A and B are shown apart, each in its own frame.
Chain A
Amino acid sequence: MTTTLPGFSGLFRKELLEWRRGRRTWVVLLVSIPFMALTALNAWLQETIATAEGVEIPPPNMDPMVNLLAAVSTQIFVVVTIFAVMSLLIAERESGTLAWTASKPVSRAGIWLAKWLSATGILWLLAGLLPLAATVAVVIVLYGPLQAASIALVALGIGMAIALFGAIVLAASTVITSQAAVAAIGLAAVFLPAVVGALIPIAPYLPTSILEWTLLTASGQDAGFATPISWAASVVLLVVFAARRMGQLDL
């Protein structure tokens, strides 16, 4: 890595240190954990309240896996990723620290990769795994046991979604210099395919369907391999595109 991407280890360590020292880490945790855990609590709350109030409502689904997937399907970690990543490159470009770093003997592709890989890793942990652990705990206590393999697959799907949307936002940041605009691109990537997919049956071929793919697979359904192939191809294309763009930037 050091020979192909000079300076990468120093860049990567700096990114990790910035996450460790910044307030962003706490904001991500404070948003993600309650959001997912409370979503998993929903069915139990409905039932408890209906019973206490003596109200007739359709019985909520108390299946553990369904409630885990309901919490994960909110995609809060994707929204958190978009907002946490949108400033990573643009703010540094505006402040001049990107030019400063780029004047050192480092690869510009390495600067981008260090940001993307560190953000993916940290956000997978903070917005994905820790909230998932809290949610799993809630689900097991309220609804019953879950299969470890399913949990692992969901965790993987969350990581893949975070990696994809982080790459989309960071790749957009090499072209656009407005944080709001790259956030809008990220959100469009989340919601537009769902809208288009409802009209034309292309959802399985979209890389942004990776979470749905893992959730379907985790719940024992055959989801094919089109989505993970599309995901992998898209990630590679985004990385290549961003690396090229970084090399072309006048700083």
Chain B
Amino acid sequence: MISQGAIAMAGLTKHYPGVQALTDLTLEVPAGTIYGFLGPNGAGKTTALKLLAGLVRPTRGTAHVAGVPVTAGPAYRRQVGYLSQEPRFYGWMTGRETIEYVGSLYPVDARPNAARVREVLDLVELTEAADRPAGTYSGGMRQRLGIAQALVARPPVLLLDEPVSSLDPIGRREVLELMQQVKGEATIFYSTHILDDVQRVSDHVAILDRGRLVRAQPTADLLSSSTRDRMHVVLGFATDDTAVALAAIPGVVSVEPTDRDDDSRSYVLRIDPDAAATVQRAVTRLAAESDLTVIDNSHVREDLEDVFIRLVDTKEHAA
């Protein structure tokens, strides 16, 4: 069942002297999802994750993970595995000892055994380096060790703060693949400002700007909702009159020519969202009647970057 929220935040607020780091964050993260927490630098992502990890105390508001309130202290922290933005471990401990140490901090009934330690080291591909001091690990290895230590006690929720930001493309891909692998084991709530990554692995996305939540939606819905009122039409052998003909179709609000070459012209049609199917059929009919070739006749596809910039910009303008 995916209906129960793994994480619930209600009015979560954190003010430092002179800084409103997070204001009134209310958000529910469905269980079993990879939830991307997106925002520009200084948006309050790290503060929100630290609040959820129980590392800072909220000025106001509450948070629950798997129904356990953050105020429950150690009992709450059993529910979360946390990876900080720049994971730091004891350089004198080996990777294996680091994982074993984390395990030793759990109550006996939840303490991972040696097989589980081997399993997570294997999962993050650190088996060969497991007996080397963690101080000798590269950034990517440290990040993977961080994911292993967060996972080892099988918490229902993983909180990952910018897990890939400091990595090179190969390290990034490895960690993103790892996140997808562990999705079955835990709900993943992670922050990032790398939009490509969110679009690639996240089921849901929340956008935070200047400490406030701007939007929270399933990623697919967020991308499609913004384009339901716009269609991209590319017609071969179109003429100057074609734009006029497109504008005359019922349900079309406006037509904006966007591109042209010798053989085709492109348009963005702003439409009544409820008339999308009718408009699509009318465009096809117009093409047939005017002897045009339909190259594209679909909703405008925005990527997350477009949506993000539009939402954050809109907010800035509104402010």
Contacts and interface: CB of A to CB of B under 8 A. Distances in A.
A97 B88 CA distance: 6
A105 B79 CA distance: 9
Contacts of A250: 50, 55-57
A22 interface: yes
Contacts, number: 74
Interface stretch (A1-9, A123-131, A197-205): A1-9
Contacts of A13: 104
Contacts of B110: 105
A103 interface: yes
A156 B108 CA distance: 35
Interface in A55-110: 95-97, 99-107
A18 B97 CA distance: 12
A251 interface: yes
Given A18-B92, A102-B55, A7 B84 contact: no
B80 A103 contact: yes
A10 B104 contact: yes
B187 to A, nearest CB: 17
Given A97-B90, A251-B55, A106 B84 contact: no
A11 interface: yes
Nearest to A103: B82
B105 interface: yes
Contacts of B237: none
A215 B178 CA distance: 62
Contact of B78 (A2, A14, A101, A105): A105
A87 to B, nearest CB: 14
5 contacts: A7-B104, A101-B105, A103-B53, A105-B110, A251-B55
Interface of B: 50, 53-57, 73-75, 77-78, 80, 82, 84, 86-90, 92, 101-108, 110
User: What are the nearest 6 A-B pairs in CB distance?
Assistant: A10-B104, A96-B88, A7-B105, A103-B82, A105-B74, A250-B56
